[in-house]
Amino acid sequence: MHVTLIGPTHPYKGGVAQHTTTLAHELTAAGHDVDLVSWSAQYPSKLYPGVQRVQEPEIPVFPRTRYPLAWFRPDSWWRLGRSLRRTGGLVVFVLVTPVQIPAYLVMLAALGRRRNGERPTTAVICHNVLPHETKPGDRQLVRALLARTDVALVHSDTEAQLARDHGARDVRTCELPTFGPAARSVPTGAKGGDGLLFFGFIRPYKGVEVLLRAVARVPGVRLRVAGESWNGEEALRGLVTELGLTDRVDLRLTYLPDDELDRLLGAADALVVPYLSGTGTQHVRVAQRHGLPVIASRISTIPDQVDDGVDGLLVRPGDVDDLADAISRLYEPGRLEQLRSAVMAPDPAALWRPYVALLTGVPEPTAPSVA
């Protein structure tokens, strides 16, 4: 079918832009006719505390990409919606934040009501049904969007229920596939020795403060925290100093280029995913792709991805004592080597096939039976 995918892509950086771009490639590989429509200006810079764009593409740019949309040009939203009335097929909106929803609602209004199959089917990919820090009006916007789209694709059972509670009719659930350079690379094998690693955007729900307090209770353990901080660096550096961790914690509070992330993953003993809450993450699968065990919170789909005590360790979210105990157990004699030997690298293609099939409603091709 023809698929119009509306969401961020290069030069925007980060996981959602990488996911959207990878999805366009995967839809094309599955035989669909795909257009990727993106933003020349996605939202006001004051709503994003870091640098929004990068010069070099993080992954291959999708060739059929155009940038007609701007947050300050509602006429661009309407024109796109009117043009999509003629395309048929499937229109997919990528939802990250309610800030995007007014534009999507205008596009849906421009598409008009479905009559005799004339209007395309519409779907929304909910990276978050609701934002991690909900503001007044967010729930109303989400309800308006989900009530007006035909399909909602989410990444966990908890998010599926949340989508239904906010008016979605056809809710489909699939694990978030791996994407981005670190997910595609096939490393030669993790060597370890540099201690624990946390990477990614640093936001309150990620649990970095809990991780620092846990590390402070385990003598000798080293930690590297790498990624942009959305809440300022001063408080984080102050906590490291307060806990007496300046000689054991390396803060690299900047966005990581691809080669640096690969190097950090290869040098780490284990990846820590100490989230307090979450809607889906690819970090566990990225670690496994690099042969790394994880210490991770029991949230979202993580318990389905980690075999506790076999290829990683699971902890209660927000529990400093439980996380400190898991770190101690990781470094018991022989435990790290035991966990690492059980880590199995996931196959990205095997994660993407059901995702594309659920989104489009086109079943995965089945292998012919052997008589």
What percent of the chain has a predicted confidence (pLDDT) above 90? 70
Q: Which domain holds residue 75?
A: 2-178+349-360
189 plus 338 within the same structural domain: yes
Q: Does the pLDDT at position 114 exceed 90?
A: no
Q: Does the pLDDT at position 165 exceed 90?
A: yes
Which is nearest to 226 in space by CA: 246, 202, 203?
Answer: 202
Overall average pLDDT of the 92-103 stretch = 95
19-67 pLDDT per residue, tens: 999 999 999 999 999 999 999 988 777 766 556 677 788 889 999 999 9
Is position 365 within any domain?
no
Q: What angle do CA 198, 202, 207 make, to 5 degrees?
A: 70
CATH number of domain containing 262? 3.40.50.2000
Q: Does the pLDDT at position 169 exceed 60?
A: yes
321-359 pLDDT per residue, tens: 999 999 999 999 999 999 999 999 888 889 999 999 999
Q: Does the pLDDT at position 185 exceed 60?
A: no
| pLDDT (0 to 100) of residue 190 | 52
| pLDDT (0 to 100) of residue 308 | 97
The residues, any chain, with a CB within 8 Å of residue 30's CB and separated by 6 or more, are 353, 356, 357, 360, 362
209 plus 65 within the same structural domain: no
Is position 371 within any domain?
no
138 plus 232 within the same structural domain: no
Q: What integer best gives the mean pLDDT of the chain?
A: 90
Confidence of residue 255 (pLDDT cuts 50, 70, 90): confident
